[in-house]
């Protein structure tokens, strides 16, 4: 029979589940299994339809920016400037190739999830064990699980013995989850469904059998796969702004060209062919054809800088988007914390002992909270420390510069604690030889081991859930209630410890041996500690106006404790997955800005949170490492996966991968992103006035009927030589001081802010004034038109050199030693421009090609003096705007 999609299998008794699935503990018959396979389909995630590579490549040309470039190439070719047309065509092809190479992110993410499903499974069919392909599993199959197995489908557990399952990729839990066959509450979230084993998770220890409740797309991983398919790729702010700017600019140029052409023919008596050539020349001049290439190069340089900071960018525009981030939604486990359990607190009869250090490393001391004599307190705690080490199957080893746990993470923390207390684990375990054990089981929730002591005595050590160990020892939990609550406030997971000294030697242990004479040793509090650099990174985010939201599958108390330690906000507030279930989307959007921690969340919850934040116009970064993070990583403006502990599904869905899994690396990447955006604005602020100055000068010539101050070829020469030299060096500019002290820019902020628009207009007018000034000055001296035009070309180039030093610092004055000397890239580019302009002015070949003429030393001095005057004029304007407070208002 077909399983019910909405059946709460975790809440049903085992017999009821078997009955509803039409099976029994002996398994299905082969005939029934084949019939169900035909009905339900294979236990696999379907392959998504992919776009043909040729169509994917052609789709890269479908943007206003590309139309903008193609129009510039067509105009250049129409004027016979084939080299310029070829350069523009190469830029278009490079952009298309980059986009084509970055396509297919969602398909690869789905493929990574499909790879998580185990290839084979052990099942019972016709009452006998069989090994079959996972694809052939059907609802009702009885599956056998052992340590090391990957769960092949969503199973309702029928029998569980010491079963611990690592669900971190699915739920974000930092430690393996205890499983049981008893049903749990109907409203339990995924992380609390302890009677279920989910497809793609890993059996850490123990054995179990379960009945297949869901296969393929009906599994939890299948639902995540559906979410990824449903998420649409978000366009980055830069792409939106460039497309909007290119579209408006193209229409503006076209409209202006038509008006100017009409005016030249009807009002000034130009022949229509002459007018057309002049207007097309002007259009080519005003279109900054090198700008998109320089922006692409600026982004690529940002990628290189971020890689040096352990942040690998998988999609080029994400570099700039990082600079606009206003919210970072971070997973807790493995991102803000180390994903390494450690003992933080020992609660013994007369004292509380705090443990130093961080993570797996056995480094840090033990200090008493209630006694001035740490040595006496530590001696009193030696019994519970020894119990934790001996009632333990884990080992701690050093691998290069890292300490790694072989076994359960919490047991590994007990080994590290013993080493911090000065105990050699190997020596103590050799002294206290283990004879027998009662393995941990979710039914009774404790583990007990029998040991022969150094004097031959028999001793039982017990470790487990506090309530279970207290019950064995006959301890009243109310005596420890206040101290347990204090540990819970700090987000600590507690384990209880006890000891029983036997009067007779024994080699076997049974439950009856735990009846009387058990002494309670105390409790230990475990935490997954915050990363060392995470707190400083969170503080830097807050100073930069970036909110940090913690989204985790862990318990709310634990998550809030970590949030307080990291100081995510002054008073962190939280919601659970259950709270989110009853909140409609509009109510979630209304409160999402006030909530700092979201706990016990499912993939759907994470997706809703990201969308709720985006509904406020915020630019959202989402960090995570599990399969459960993949849909929200793709939905976010910048999805960020962990390189070490991240699953392949998370990496494929993300725009950025952190190689060191360190939250602080994303903050460094945000700083680089802001620098990239600043540099793009500098490129635009420097490039557009060149075209603007040329345009004003030519338009005035047409309007007032005087000779054009530049030919079409000279206009292209200025654009080409400046774009590939001075325009490019701005991409290498370092961060300005105070980059991370500014608030994030709004997602709707225009690429040309009011300040930049004012600056472009002002500099365009000043450049046009300088060009026409030297033009008429030269003609006034009785010199020929060719010499006057050569003066104009050199004046514009020199003016742009001095303007470059002014525009290098948009947020501070440029009249500083650092501002004046420039970077090596700036100085190198200026040297190239000077050399090329000397060739343009004095080389016979260049004079023949561009109709240029040699200038005198006096001409050169005049041009340089005017360039210096332009620099000081613009510095004065910048200073005045700051003193009047206009800069902050217009930026």
- Residues annotated as catalytic (active site), given as ranges: 331
Whether residue 745 contacts residue 549, with contact meaning beta carbons closer than 8 Å, is answered with: no
3-state secondary structure of 432: coil
Bridge-based pairing of strands 574-576 and 597-599 is parallel
Structure tokens, 612: 């709720």
Whether residue 485 contacts residue 347, with contact meaning beta carbons closer than 8 Å, is answered with: no
Radius of gyration of the chain (CA): 35
**Residue 47: closest CA among 119, 91, 107:** 107
3-state secondary structure of 458: strand
Integer Cα distance of 581 and 602 in angstroms: 10
3-state secondary structure of 651: helix
Handedness of CA 403, 407, 411, 415 (dihedral sign): negative
Long-range contacts for 106-110 (Cβ within 8 Å, ≥24 apart)? 106/48, 106/228, 106/229, 106/231, 106/233, 106/634, 106/653, 107/48, 107/50, 108/652, 109/228, 109/630, 109/634, 109/649, 109/652, 109/653, 110/45, 110/47, 110/48, 110/225, 110/228, 110/229
Integer Cα distance of 692 and 288 in angstroms: 10
3-state secondary structure of 483: helix
- How remote is the C-alpha of 657 from its chain's centroid? 6
Residue identified by tokens 């450690």 is: 342
Whether residue 578 contacts residue 189, with contact meaning beta carbons closer than 8 Å, is answered with: yes
**Residue 288: closest CA among 705, 760, 628:** 760
Whether residue 809 contacts residue 734, with contact meaning beta carbons closer than 8 Å, is answered with: no
Structure tokens, 598: 């979201």
As a residue count, the chain comes to 891
Residue identified by tokens 């350069």 is: 87
Whether residue 325 contacts residue 743, with contact meaning beta carbons closer than 8 Å, is answered with: no
Angle between helices 291-308 and 82-102 (to 10 degrees): 40
Structure tokens, 434: 């283990």
């Amino acid at each position: 029979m077909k399983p019910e999609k909405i059946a709460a299998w975790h809440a049903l008794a085992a017999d009821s589940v078997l009955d509803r699935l039409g099976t029994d503990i002996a398994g299905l018959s082969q005939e029934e299994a084949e019939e169900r396979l035909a009905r339900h389909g294979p236990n696999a995630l379907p392959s998504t339809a992919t776009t043909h590579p040729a169509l994917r490549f052609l789709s890269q040309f479908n943007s206003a920016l590309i139309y903008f470039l193609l129009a510039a190439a067509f105009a250049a070719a129409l004027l016979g400037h084939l080299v310029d047309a070829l350069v523009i065509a190469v830029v278009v092809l490079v952009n298309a190739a980059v986009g084509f190479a970055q396509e297919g992110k969602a398909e690869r993410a789905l493929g990574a999830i499909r790879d998580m499903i185990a290839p084979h499974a052990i099942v019972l069919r016709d009452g006998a064990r069989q090994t079959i392909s996972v694809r052939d599993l059907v609802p009702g199959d009885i599956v056998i699980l052992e340590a090391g197995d990957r769960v092949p489908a969503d199973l309702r557990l029928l029998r569980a013995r010491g079963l611990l399952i690592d669900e971190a990729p699915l739920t974000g839990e930092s430690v393996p989850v205890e499983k049981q066959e008893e049903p749990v509450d109907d409203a339990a979230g995924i992380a609390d469904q302890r009677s279920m084993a989910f497809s793609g998770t890993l059996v850490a220890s123990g054995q179990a059998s379960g009945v297949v409740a869901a296969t393929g797309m009906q599994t939890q991983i299948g639902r995540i796969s559906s979410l990824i398919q449903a998420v649409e790729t978000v366009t980055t702010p830069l792409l939106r702004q460039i497309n909007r700017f290119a579209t408006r600019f193209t229409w503006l140029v076209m409209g202006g060209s038509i008006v100017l052409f009409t005016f030249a023919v009807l009002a000034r008596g130009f022949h229509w062919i002459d007018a057309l050539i002049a207007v097309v020349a002007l259009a080519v001049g005003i279109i900054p054809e090198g700008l998109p290439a320089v922006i692409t190069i600026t982004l690529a340089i940002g990628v290189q800088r971020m890689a040096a900071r352990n942040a690998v960018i998988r999609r080029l525009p994400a570099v700039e988007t990082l600079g606009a981030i206003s919210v970072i939604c971070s997973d807790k486990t493995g991102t803000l914390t180390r994903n390494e359990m450690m003992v933080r607190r020992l609660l013994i009869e007369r004292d509380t002992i705090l443990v130093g250090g961080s993570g797996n490393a056995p480094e840090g001391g033990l200090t008493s909270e209630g006694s001035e004599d740490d040595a006496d307190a530590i001696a009193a705690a030696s019994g519970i420390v020894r119990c934790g080490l001996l009632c333990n199957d884990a080992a701690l080893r050093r691998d290069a510069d890292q300490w790694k746990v072989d076994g359960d993470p919490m047991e590994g923390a007990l080994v590290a604690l013993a080493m911090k207390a000065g105990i050699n684990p190997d020596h103590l375990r050799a002294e206290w030889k283990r004879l027998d054990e009662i393995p941990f089981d979710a039914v009774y929730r404790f583990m007990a081991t029998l040991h022969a002591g150094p004097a031959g005595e028999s001793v039982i050590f017990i470790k487990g859930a506090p309530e279970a160990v207290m019950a064995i020892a006959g301890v009243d939990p109310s005596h420890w209630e206040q101290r347990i609550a204090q540990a819970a406030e700090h987000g600590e997971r507690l384990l209880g410890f006890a000891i029983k000294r036997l009067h007779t030697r024994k080699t076997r242990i049974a439950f009856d041996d735990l009846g009387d004479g058990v002494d309670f040793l105390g409790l230990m509090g475990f935490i997954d500690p915050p990363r060392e650099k995470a707190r400083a990174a969170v503080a830097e985010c807050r100073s930069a106006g970036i909110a940090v939201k913690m989204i985790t599958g862990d318990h709310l108390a634990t998550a809030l404790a970590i949030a307080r330690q990291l100081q995510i906000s002054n008073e962190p507030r939280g919601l659970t997955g259950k709270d989110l279930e009853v909140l409609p989307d509009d109510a979630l959007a209304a409160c999402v800005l006030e909530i700092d921690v979201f706990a016990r969340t499912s993939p759907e919850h994470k997706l809703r949170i990201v969308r709720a934040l985006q509904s406020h116009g915020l630019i959202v970064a989402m960090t995570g490492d599990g399969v459960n993070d993949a849909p929200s990583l793709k939905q976010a403006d910048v999805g960020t996966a962990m390189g070490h502990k991240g699953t392949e599904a998370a990496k494929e869905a993300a725009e950025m991968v952190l190689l060191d899994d360190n939250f602080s690396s994303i903050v460094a990447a945000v700083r680089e992103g802001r620098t990239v955006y600043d540099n793009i604005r500098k490129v635009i602020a420097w490039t557009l006035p060149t075209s603007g100055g040329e345009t004003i000068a030519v338009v005035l010539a047409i309007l007032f009927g005087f000779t054009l101050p530049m030919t079409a070829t000279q206009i292209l020469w200025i654009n080409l030589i400046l774009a590939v030299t001075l325009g490019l060096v701005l991409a290498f500019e370092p961060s300005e001081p105070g980059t991370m002290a500014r608030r994030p820019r709004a997602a709707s902020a225009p690429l040309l802010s009011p300040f930049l628009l004012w600056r472009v207009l002002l500099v365009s007018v000043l450049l046009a004034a300088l060009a026409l000034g030297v033009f008429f000055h030269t003609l006034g001296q009785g010199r020929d038109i060719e010499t006057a035009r050569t003066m104009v070309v050199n004046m514009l180039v020199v003016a742009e050199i001095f303007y470059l030093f002014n525009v290098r610092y948009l947020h501070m004055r440029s009249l500083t030693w650092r501002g004046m000397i420039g970077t090596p890239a700036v100085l190198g580019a200026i040297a190239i421009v000077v050399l090329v302009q000397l060739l343009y002015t004095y080389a016979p070949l260049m004079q023949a090609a561009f109709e240029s003429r040699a200038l005198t030393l006096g001409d050169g001095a005049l041009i340089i003096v005017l360039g210096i005057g332009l620099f000081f004029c613009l510095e004065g304007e910048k200073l005045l705007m700051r003193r009047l407070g206009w800069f902050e208002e217009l930026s």
